[in-house]
Amino acid sequence: MKMFNRKILHYDAFSSTANQGNPAGVVLSADDLNEDQMQSIAKKVGFNETVFVLNSKKADLKLKYFTPGHEINLCGHATIASMYGLKTMGLLEDKDFITIETNVGNLPITFERRNGELLITMKQGNPQFVPFGGSTSELAKSMGLSPDAIDLSKPIVYGSTGAWTLLVPIKGLDHFNRMKPDNRMFPGILKENPKSSVHPFCRDTFDDHAMMHARHFSSPYSGTLEDPVTGTASGVMGAYYLTYLNKDAAAAEFVVEQGQEINKDGRVYVRVKRHDEVMDVFISGTGVFVKEFDVPYA
């Protein structure tokens, strides 16, 4: 079997400091790869997500996202990482607005300079929520917590703006360092959506400028354990805020912090707005180039 090498660009999203935020592998000009090859490359890269940039007949370009275990429909941090790379390499010319084709449809991307940083904003899919009907004590146990750590005054729900996660309200920051997830338990507990990830969050924060703190534990099917800073789930948190915590507000804008417990400090800027019967959900963040390397594939 003939082997080839593929160049991987390593960018970190949601931080301007290398090796903070959330790493993503970015593969440019990927039209010659089939999905099996993409999956093989993503497994060898080993990051939570690797994104492949392709030509599109429907948008400015097309993105396909793979965990080490399977393809996913949308990934916030890999989108931010790839857009940061394309923009800073001059491959998007001087455009401040483009559209990307994804498995959840065409999504708009905007670029702006704010406080000296390149900030990328992506629109996410229309939010959906499904109630969690499983055991809260088993859910707590799967995260290494006692049942009283979960804040039952707020709903536990599956949410999606393109990728499903279970939002779990936690009573305070002190519980987050104690979390020791057993990801293998998740499918048996998440009976409504066994492949969902788990996203515990609270309203306490380390950073006074942030409004929510979170961690993100991966589905065991993904091939990874924890996502350091999660764009799609942060967008879901924005929609959750308007749906369950501030039902009268027309819009909200706030910062989500994530990654502190695993030394991957990052920030996601979240903006949500009610629009007729749906919500417009946007996340923003910056990125940083770390390194490039090659991986073999067949």
Q: What is the mean pLDDT of residues 193-200?
A: 98
| Residues 81, 34 share a domain | yes
Q: Does the annotation count 49 as an active-site position?
A: yes
Q: Write the CATH number for 105.
A: 3.10.310.10
What pLDDT sits at residue 71? 97
| Residues 293, 196 share a domain | no
Instruction: Name residues whose C-beta falls within 8 Å of residue 172's C-beta, 6 or more positions apart in sequence.
Output: 202, 204
| Residues 169, 292 share a domain | no
> 65-120 pLDDT, tens per residue?
999 999 999 999 999 999 999 999 999 989 999 999 999 999 999 999 998 999 99
Q: Is the pLDDT of residue 263 over 90?
A: yes
| Residues 97, 64 share a domain | yes
What six digits make up the tokens of 228?
């350091």
Per-residue pLDDT band at 228 (split at 50, 70, 90): very high
**261 and 178 Cβ atoms separated by less than 8 Å:** no
> 7-33 pLDDT, tens per residue?
999 999 999 999 999 999 999 999 999
| Residues 275, 155 share a domain | yes
| Residues 175, 46 share a domain | no
Per-residue pLDDT band at 49 (split at 50, 70, 90): very high
> 114-172 pLDDT, tens per residue?
989 999 999 999 999 999 999 999 999 999 999 999 999 999 999 999 999 999 999 99
**Cut 0.85: pTM above it:** yes
| Residues 154, 78 share a domain | no
Rounded Cα gap, residues 134 and 90, in angstroms:
49
Q: Is the pLDDT of residue 1 over 90?
A: no
What pLDDT sits at residue 288? 98
Considering only CA atoms, which of 201, 288, 191, 261 is closest in space to residue 236? 201
What pLDDT sits at residue 130? 99
Considering only CA atoms, which of 270, 240, 297, 224 is closest in space to residue 22? 224
| Residues 20, 142 share a domain | no
The domain in which residue 117 lies consists of 4-123+286-297
Per-position b or e across 209-247, b if 16+ CB within 10 A of its CB: ebbbbbbbbbbbebbbebbbbbbbbbbbbbbbbbbeeee
**Beta strands in 115-190, from DSSP E residues, in sequence order:** 117-123, 128-131, 157-160, 164-169
What pLDDT sits at residue 78? 98
**Mean pLDDT value across the chain:** 97
| Residues 186, 220 share a domain | yes
SS3 121: strand
| Residues 212, 277 share a domain | yes
- How many structural domains comprise the chain? 2
| Residues 246, 157 share a domain | yes
Q: In percent, how much of the chain has pLDDT > 90?
A: 97
| Residues 163, 266 share a domain | yes
